[in-house]
Structures are given as structure tokens and as C-alpha cells.
Chain A
Amino acid sequence: MNAAESIFFVAQVWATIGAVVATAFLLFGIDRIDEDARGAYIFRPLLVPGILLIWPLVLWRWWVLERDLDNWRNRHAPPRRAHLFIAVMFVVAIPLIIAVSWSLRQEWQADFEPVKISLLHGSAGQGDAAA
């Protein structure tokens, strides 16, 4: 298995686990942790793509709410404190990433002429340029 196949395999495994989590959460879990969702079904398929991607967060929040460990007053405090820092980082990082990617772009060597280095497989070099 090469690097590309390995990445593809990991993505497949991640999405498969996400599908199992989405099935369990949307059929059973959401009714247990969110009373507003009880009896409401049409919106649930809309959550499937998100759960496929962030299923560990869904499992963690399900566990916290199920065990009644949630402190809702502090729930958004850490992300809110980080907003300014993250905003500044984005302002710096996005132009930097674009600039670095442009500077690292390869050049298409359009003028390069293919060179025949042996007439037949395994024979001596000839050095002929392509016609």
C-alpha cells in the first residue's frame, strides 16, 4: 500500500466509523441528550455529513451530556477567549500560505526536448534529440 492508498484507507475507516456513530446518535442518542429534538426527524439526515467528519466530538459531547457532566456556563468560554488570537493568526497565515505556495510552484519546462539515450532497450547511448 503506497502513501496515497494509505491516506484513502484512513479516510474510508474514519467515514465508516462516522457512519456508525451517526446511525446510533441520530436514532437513539439525540433523543436522550436534547429534549428539543424529541419527535423531530426531518432535520436529522442533515446532520449526517457533519457527524461523519467530527464523530469523536459527537461521541465526547454525547458522553458528557449523558453523564450530566456539562457545565454550560463555561462551555463557550475557552473558544471565545481564543477568538482574537485565532483571527490575527488567520490574517497572518493565509497570505503567508498563498505566498509560500506560489514561490514553491514548479516551472513547466516547455522548452525541454526529449532525448533518446539508447536506440533499443539496453543498448548504448545515442544522444539523439527528438524530431
Chain B
Amino acid sequence: MAEKDTPYFVGFLPIPAGLKLFLLVVSLSLITGFAAGGILVGISQDDPGQAGFRFDHGRQTVTGVFESHPYPMLHITMGSEHLPTGKTIMVSGQGKTNIMRGRSDELDGKIVEISGVIVQRGDLKMLQIAGGRRGLKPTEEDGVVPVAEDLGTWRVKGEICDGKCLAGAMNPGRGIAHKACANLCLIGEIPPVFVSTKPIEGEEYFLIAGPDGKEMTQDTYNYVGQFVEAETRIERRGNLLVMRMDPAKMQVTP
């Protein structure tokens, strides 16, 4: 075909006869292809379940004994409608940050008042508090941190997530983007949470600590966002269960 006879598509001119069939085939292929791709990707995802920020509950203000390690938590001594007295709740800052930045460990064991919004998935609750004194008002009064109760060593299977996204700040996912997002939160010192395949002592969600009971160890980050099997010591702090995870006793499952 001579070059001058080659059909040439111009959007605002009538479609050349030689390109009509080609345009129809390409258009239908793209529409059906993208629709099929969208459906396939959609049905391959897990149901994220019901979770999210409970703005419908409004701002919750509670008082309790603050515990800084392994991650900030409050043993509530004066509760609110949705955070009853006696509950132990994990606490996070705004976005992907912990609340301890710029605050000293001297808060550990003190009576504090905190105020924020609940993030909730089932029994898992975390309180996202505002920055500064609006979110956390310390007092000079010392409280009594509950003594940790040893529940023994367990073989468990499940996933290490960042507690805030799991609780509903975002929906859980799969794969490398999920792992990267979770690790970004954990670098910001959001409390990490283990999701067990089955409940232990009635709980499916566990705050994760290192083998020494302090922050999660560096090597554990490599297992975040993947399904793992681990041998771990479990203890109860208040009414929150904590896993002391040792990466040397952990492996990725098939």
C-alpha cells in the first residue's frame, strides 16, 4: 500500500474505512479485558471485614496508668462509654507515628489523661490521640502498673501486622506493598500486633514485644506482613495479651 493510501486516524475526523474493524476489535478487547482483570483482582482479595475509625463514638477521654514499653498502652482507671474502666488499650499518634516522640519515658507508670478517636476491628481497639496536651495530659501522680502474668510458651501461626492499620485505619492486604506499608508504620513505632489463626485465652490479637519484653527486635521486621509460625512466650498485661517474639524461633509458612 502506498504511503498516501495508508489510513490515518484523526480523532475529530470520520474514521477511515480501513481502520473501523481494527478500532472496534481494540475497543471491545480493552473494555472486556479491563473488566475481566478488575473482577479477577477483586475476587482474589480477602474480605477486609468490618473495621475503621469510630468517629460515630466521638472523642473518648479516659484516665489511667500509662505504660511506655514495649509500646504505649493505658490501663484505664476512669473509663468512658466505649472504653470501660479496667480495659488496657494500645495508643498511637496521628498517621504513622507513635505518641512518644518528643515525650520522655518519665511518663511510664504515671497517671495520665488521654483523649482521642477509637480505631476498632472486633475486640481489637486502639486509641489514636492528638498531639500535645490536647491528646495526653500527664500528672505527677504515680499509678500501679499491673504485674505481668506469664501464660507460658506457645506455638502459634498467624501474621504480624501494624496494629493501627489492622484495627481499621486501613484495610489489610497481601504482598509486598502490604509488607512495605506495615513496616513503614512499625518504623514509626506504631504498636505491632500478631493475628493468630485461632484464639488463645479468648484473644485473637496480641501486642508484640521483643524477647526481653521491650520493643520488637530489628530482625522481626523481615517477617512482617507474611504468614509465620513462631514459638513465643505469652503474658497478660492488664487485660492485653503480649507476645515476646524471638525472630530466631520464627519461620515463614508455605
List residues of chain B with CB within 8 A of the CB of A8.
Answer: 183-184, 187
Secondary structure class of chain A's binding surface, majority of residues? loop
**Do A106 and B253 touch across chains, with their CB atoms under 8 A apart?**
yes
List residues of chain B with CB within 8 A of the CB of A120.
Answer: 150, 152
- State in angstroms the CA–CA spacing of A130 and B241 once bound together: 15
- In the complex, the number of residue pairs spanning A and B with C-beta atoms less than 8 Å apart equals 82
**Do A107 and B174 touch across chains, with their CB atoms under 8 A apart?**
no
Give the B-binding residues of A (Cβ under 8 A).
Answer: 1-5, 7-8, 101-102, 105-121, 123, 126, 130-131
**Do B254 and A114 touch across chains, with their CB atoms under 8 A apart?**
no
**Do B233 and A121 touch across chains, with their CB atoms under 8 A apart?**
yes
**Do A114 and B152 touch across chains, with their CB atoms under 8 A apart?**
no
B154-167 vs A, CB cutoff 8 Å, 1 = contact: the mask equals 11110100000000
**Do B155 and A117 touch across chains, with their CB atoms under 8 A apart?**
yes
Q: List 7 A-B contacts (CB under 8 A).
A: A5-B187, A109-B253, A114-B154, A114-B155, A118-B153, A120-B152, A126-B152
- State in angstroms the CA–CA spacing of A112 and B180 once bound together: 26
**Do B227 and A130 touch across chains, with their CB atoms under 8 A apart?**
no
**Do B156 and A101 touch across chains, with their CB atoms under 8 A apart?**
no
The residue of chain B having its C-beta at the shortest distance from the C-beta of A123 within the complex is B152
- State in angstroms the CA–CA spacing of A102 and B41 once bound together: 10
Query: Is B61 among interface residues, defined by CB-CB distance under 8 A?
Result: no
The residue of chain B having its C-beta at the shortest distance from the C-beta of A106 within the complex is B227
**Do A2 and B254 touch across chains, with their CB atoms under 8 A apart?**
no
Query: Is B44 among interface residues, defined by CB-CB distance under 8 A?
Result: yes
Chain B nearest CB, measured from A49 CB (Å): 19
List residues of chain A with CB within 8 A of the CB of B183.
Answer: 4, 8
Query: Is B16 among interface residues, defined by CB-CB distance under 8 A?
Result: no
**Do B197 and A106 touch across chains, with their CB atoms under 8 A apart?**
no
B221-254 vs A, CB cutoff 8 Å, 1 = contact: the mask equals 1101011000101000000000000000000111
Interface residue ranges of B141-199 to A (CB < 8 Å): 150, 152-157, 159, 174-175, 180, 183-184, 186-187, 196-199
Chain B nearest CB, measured from A113 CB (Å): 5
**Do A114 and B198 touch across chains, with their CB atoms under 8 A apart?**
yes
The residue of chain A having its C-beta at the shortest distance from the C-beta of B183 within the complex is A4
Query: Is B23 among interface residues, defined by CB-CB distance under 8 A?
Result: no
Query: Is B200 among interface residues, defined by CB-CB distance under 8 A?
Result: yes
Given the known interface contacts A109-B157, A109-B197, A121-B152, the answer about A4 and B175 at a Cβ–Cβ threshold of 8 Å is: no
Partner of B254, one of A106, A115, A130: A106
**Do B219 and A101 touch across chains, with their CB atoms under 8 A apart?**
no
List residues of chain A with CB within 8 A of the CB of B227.
Answer: 106-109
Given the known interface contacts A4-B180, A109-B253, A114-B155, the answer about A130 and B199 at a Cβ–Cβ threshold of 8 Å is: yes
**Do B153 and A117 touch across chains, with their CB atoms under 8 A apart?**
yes
Chain A nearest CB, measured from B112 CB (Å): 29
Given the known interface contacts A115-B155, A118-B152, the answer about A3 and B198 at a Cβ–Cβ threshold of 8 Å is: no
- State in angstroms the CA–CA spacing of A109 and B221 once bound together: 21
Given the known interface contacts A5-B187, A106-B226, A121-B233, the answer about A114 and B175 at a Cβ–Cβ threshold of 8 Å is: no
- State in angstroms the CA–CA spacing of A44 and B197 once bound together: 52
Query: Is B6 among interface residues, defined by CB-CB distance under 8 A?
Result: no
Chain A nearest CB, measured from B233 CB (Å): 5
Chain B nearest CB, measured from A106 CB (Å): 5
